[in-house]
Structure 1
Amino acid sequence: MGHGGGPLKPFSLDASLLTNDGLPRAVTSGEGLRRAQAMTMLAGVLWGTSFVSIQLGLDDGFHPVVFIAVRFIIAFASALLVARFIGPLNPSLLKNPWVWGLGLTTTVGFLCQYVALGLTVATKAALITNLSLIFVAPMSYYWLKESFTPLKVGALLMTVPGIILLTTGGDLASLKGSEFLGDMLSLAAGFSWAFYIIITKHILRDPKVSVSSLTLWVMGTTAALVVPMGIGVIALGRASLGDVGNVGWAMAVYTGIFCSTVAYLLWTRGLRGVTATVSAVLLLIMVVVAAVMDYVFLDTEIGIVPWIGAGILLVAMVLVSLSPEGNGTSRE
């Protein structure tokens, strides 16, 4: 992978290192593929817990921008610790504009998500954010030359009723219950996340890029962009760290370590073995987790219809995992 910019296109690398779909050979074996899928879903579970965690932190005194700044300071520190132990730091990645692009999309996505969670409930925010799937599929087809089998297309189509039933209980009028601005910000977060998935997949086509170093510098570039914003908010008197309670600080630590460093390590490692679209489908597990946590911690009722929707999503995840091209077949 060169350090310059340029369009999203397949890398030209030693053919002995890759399969004909552009993935490292060690990852595309049956066991490696299942491990990649499991890592992706585990990351989705952790991210699913973040929606309620963020709401709890915001309710306990955190300003959204300051919360993000503190979260990514913690994330960068923990990612640095991990990278020092399991892999090279590889600071040369900072010369790659795509890495800064990841930091920018992360910053924009989280700013939209945090503000949205102050305007809408966690389950609905998770729903709209995960509409990134409708952006990822065409972007992956066009830029990454991903192929689509009938099984994969069927799984994609199943996600639409699954998401709707899970989050609305079959009553579309319930979508009017949140602020329009919160919905639009959640959609913007999903759009940013779609770009994040595509760019990360592009970078990972170079097998010499380590997951730990990429995670480190994504956390670092995000912190570099968002921390000055947090300082500015405090300097303008819009927020104070003294207003944050114990729950707020606990949520900052939890989201910084587990929902950032750990989740991104798992997801990035998993993305080496699955396509961008398959990753987006498997990550729908976070909608299910967000709904359950909404019920457990925020007393949001879940009836039989939402559980049917959750079941449909789980079936879609199984189908996309069973697709013979679920490990990333390219049309080239």
Structure 2
Amino acid sequence: MRPAHLLLALLTTALWGFNFVAIQVGLDSGLPPLLMAALRFVVAALPALWLPRPRIPAGRLVAIGIFLFVGQFALLFTGMAAGMPPGLASVTQQSQAFLTALIAAAVLRERPSARAMAGMAVAFSGLALIGTTAGGGGMTGLGLALCLAGAGSWAVGNVLLRGAGSSPGGPVALMAWLSLVPVLPLLALSLALEGAGAIGGALVGLNLRGVASLLYLAVAATLVGYGIWGFLMARYPATTVAPFALLVPITGAASSALVMGESFGAVRLAGMALVVAGLAVGALRWPFAPRPGGASVTAPPPRAKTPRPLSGQPAPGKNPP
């Protein structure tokens, strides 16, 4: 991955990590989860009013929006309501990286290299270690199943994005048009599960904290974050891009520590270190190439130049006529 694109991938993980703080701010302001998700995409879809439509068949556009946005967030929020602690939910959601690799291998024939698989294994061990520090009690089998299904929906959306190609309006236009898809389904789910009374009360009592939360979720996390994600997915194998999402629990924990004063101990720090190490193994290009004898060099030695013959003299190694 090119250095500039590597920085973009890291920026995305930072935006998505702070996403958990923004969600908590929105929930604390009185917004029901599914309504907040629907309003997020209402705002994110506004640029579609002036940005060109992506050159993607309508069916594929709808499919990406259904899996990437509707399925992921509806299943995640429902799973948390069914008994999944928020900390553990944020960790299990990142299993999408491994599910993306499996689906891409089966559908796109993107076979991960041995190094990529080793990196994912190291990162997964770190993710599992972080998971042991989350929640504790309160988890149900239904909540876990729904959250994992949400991660699977995200993985399918990743693979659909991988083959979608570029948009004439850029990644922001693509995300804006994709954001049109989940608005009505999420509003319908909110009406069915949260009720008209809760929706009306939340809209009437919407305050500045709720508005700020929605703007961050719509602009930073959706248009910018998913826009960069789609840009990278269109240019690199899914097995290279998807593991960067494993950094989200780390950036989320750091954001929560800075903004909300959350503290965490040695086990979680060790898990974070393993996730970073796994990404370094699987995604970075190392400049050192091993020699057969075990030593390493940064570049092959320069080839000796053959001196050019003087005018009227034969070239070296040749007999004069």
Do Structure 1 and Structure 2 share a fold, with TM-score over 0.5?
A: yes
Q: Give the AA of the match of 1:156.
A: M
Q: Is the contact between residue 146 and residue 275 of structure 1 (CA under 8 Å) also seen in structure 2?
A: yes
Computing the radius of gyration over CA atoms, which structure comes out larger, 1 or 2? Answer: 2
Match in the other structure for 2:29: 60
Residue 143 of structure 1: how far off its partner (Å):
0.7
Let me know the Cα RMSD of the aligned residues. Answer: 2.7
Flag structure 1 segments of 5+ consecutive residues without an equivalent.
Answer: 1-29, 325-332
Match in the other structure for 2:179: 219
Match in the other structure for 1:150: 114
Question: Equivalent residue of 1:273, what SS?
Answer: coil
Q: Distance in 1 between matches of 2:194 and 2:84?
A: 24
Q: Which moved more, 1:141-150 or 1:106-115?
A: 106-115
Residues 122, 317 of structure 1: alpha-carbon distance in 2 compared, 3 angstrom cutoff: same
Q: Once the two structures are superposed, what CA deviation does each residue of 1:235-269 show, in whole Å capped at 9, x if it has no partner?
A: 73243212444322221111111111111111111
Correspondence list, 1:158-307, <5 A: 158-169=122-133, 176-180=136-140, 181-204=142-165, 210-230=170-190, 236-239=196-199, 240=201, 241-307=203-269
Q: Give the AA of the match of 2:91.
A: L
Match in the other structure for 2:45: 76
Q: Distance in 1 between matches of 2:198 and 2:210?
A: 17
Match in the other structure for 2:99: 135
Q: Is the contact between residue 123 and residue 290 of structure 1 (CA under 8 Å) also seen in structure 2?
A: no
TM-score of the pair, normalised by structure 1: 0.75
Q: Distance in 2 between matches of 1:286 and 1:199?
A: 21
Question: Equivalent residue of 2:30, what SS?
Answer: coil
- % of aligned pairs identical? 20
Q: Is the contact between residue 164 and residue 309 of structure 1 (CA under 8 Å) also seen in structure 2?
A: yes
Q: Is the contact between residue 126 and residue 287 of structure 1 (CA under 8 Å) also seen in structure 2?
A: yes
Question: Equivalent residue of 1:203, what SS?
Answer: coil
TM-score of the pair, normalised by structure 2: 0.78
Residue 115 of structure 1: how far off its partner (Å):
3.8
Residues 295, 286 of structure 1: alpha-carbon distance in 2 compared, 3 angstrom cutoff: same
Residues 114, 176 of structure 1: alpha-carbon distance in 2 compared, 3 angstrom cutoff: same
Residue 114 (str. 1) matches residue 83 (str. 2): no
Residue 317 of structure 1: how far off its partner (Å):
1.3
Q: Is the contact between residue 70 and residue 182 of structure 2 (CA under 8 Å) also seen in structure 1?
A: yes
Question: Equivalent residue of 1:131, what SS?
Answer: helix
* Aligned length, in residue pairs: 281
